[in-house]
Structure 1
């Protein structure tokens, strides 16, 4: 029996799993949309309570517990791949931890799974970048996981700044002016590329702008994840205005 293509997502339908408090992944991912590619959100229920160094691991555990439920939910839309719109889970436990997460989800869902960590690695490799500066919204424990993963992946983390946002909602309340100032603080002449981690940190436009005034790639986790999902599916459309990785690779 011939299966008709989806009317809007006739080239690719991508599921995107995010925490329920996340208000940034959906609009930033949709901004990358090209003709025939659509993105569909599944939400992991988590609380809005404050995050501190003491309860940070509880926050991570709550997200981990709901990933498979949210992924199962969005799979019913007939998606052909899945973006993990949860940054920390993609870095937790180094390369081994992220590989195990990806393998477990792909075995369960039977579709390719795009991790933000792997998308960032692919984006950096596209530019041949080795020395990087990283901005996150996380507490120190989360920053350690991000640094460790990137180091294991072969990058030298020259600088890393965590904004220590106090709650999941507070991450989305960080203004573009604050992100801009942070990117300027972590940059230096020895840095090949900048990286923004944290899927609820609204830095897509700022990172694209930063590439012009800093003269180097600025990889943003949401837009590079959408890029990686499209390229992994053989879709090579270029998108202007959201960063060089989408314009050049």
Structure 2
């Protein structure tokens, strides 16, 4: 196990402490991160409002104001890296703009889910994907456009439609049965896709990654897996894992 420099080691976080900002109704991000965290690495969280408008001037100001507060709170815990764990809420361009801002506020390395997915795909040498999400068409199209802007071509895309009726539907994402998620992901695959991307940090897919990689015969990159990978590496932890897909095993 690597032993990186750390800011303020503690009894449990003697290797690193990682902070993560999650949307208010998200119940999967923290659970999956706690399952993946290696010995000596602790996870510390805070919540902030979900921002659906991240393109208008007013929407960006609101996003950055909330990110500033949440990042400042986590920095007080002496964390070694901070992640903004929301896929849709972090699809900001330029792709490093939000994480750079967070790093200025906190003084530590920071990552976002949207950028982590892209970085993970690039680390695997992938530029053509299939995309499975729990979301509605408008949000899926936004993600496809975001990925295209950074050189990732989405060949096929499939969503469950959750959120089409408004944000009050989002808690249903975490309640989606495992069998339904599995069938949804398999149906989203297509010829020519070099990887399957499963988007949304509230979509409970961690235990499916290895099996889906075997079934689809390609890498599977998920929002939580990619963000955890990026935050772990940003904190100086280079551990490799056998259970959570080739990204955490090989990169």
Do Structure 1 and Structure 2 share a fold, with TM-score over 0.5?
yes
**What is the CA distance between 1:114 and its match in structure 2?**
0.9
For residues 109 and 40 of structure 1, the distance between their equivalents in structure 2, rounded to whole angstroms, comes to 14
Does 1:150 pair with 2:152?
A: no
Does 1:13 pair with 2:17?
A: yes
Does 1:131 pair with 2:131?
A: no
For residues 49 and 119 of structure 2, the distance between their equivalents in structure 1, rounded to whole angstroms, comes to 29
What TM-score does the superposition give when structure 2 sets the normalisation length? 0.85
1:193·1:219 contact (CA, 8 Å) conserved in 2? Answer: yes
- Residue equivalent to 1:40: 44
- Residue equivalent to 1:121: 118
TM-superposition CA deviations, 1:180-204 (whole Å, max 9, x none)? 1111111122110000111111112
- SS class of match (2:186): helix
Structure 1: gaps (5+ residues): 47-54
Aligned length: 235
2:130·2:195 contact (CA, 8 Å) conserved in 1? Answer: yes
Does 1:82 pair with 2:82?
A: yes
- SS class of match (2:25): coil
- Residue equivalent to 1:112: 109
1:56·1:139 contact (CA, 8 Å) conserved in 2? Answer: no
Does 1:99 pair with 2:96?
A: yes
- Residue equivalent to 1:175: 177
Structure 2: gaps (5+ residues): 1-6, 164-168
**What is the CA distance between 1:162 and its match in structure 2?**
2.1
2:117·2:227 contact (CA, 8 Å) conserved in 1? Answer: yes
How do residues 160-171 of structure 1 correspond to structure 2 at under 5 angstroms?
Answer: 160-166=157-163, 167-171=169-173
RMSD of aligned C-alpha atoms? Answer: 2.3
- Residue equivalent to 1:184: 186
- Residue equivalent to 2:35: 31
Bigger shift: residues 193-202 or 110-119: 110-119
**What is the CA distance between 1:67 and its match in structure 2?**
3.0
2:33·2:43 contact (CA, 8 Å) conserved in 1? Answer: yes
What TM-score does the superposition give when structure 1 sets the normalisation length? 0.86
1:25·1:85 contact (CA, 8 Å) conserved in 2? Answer: yes
- 4+ aligned runs moved over 4 Å, structure 1: 55-58, 60-63
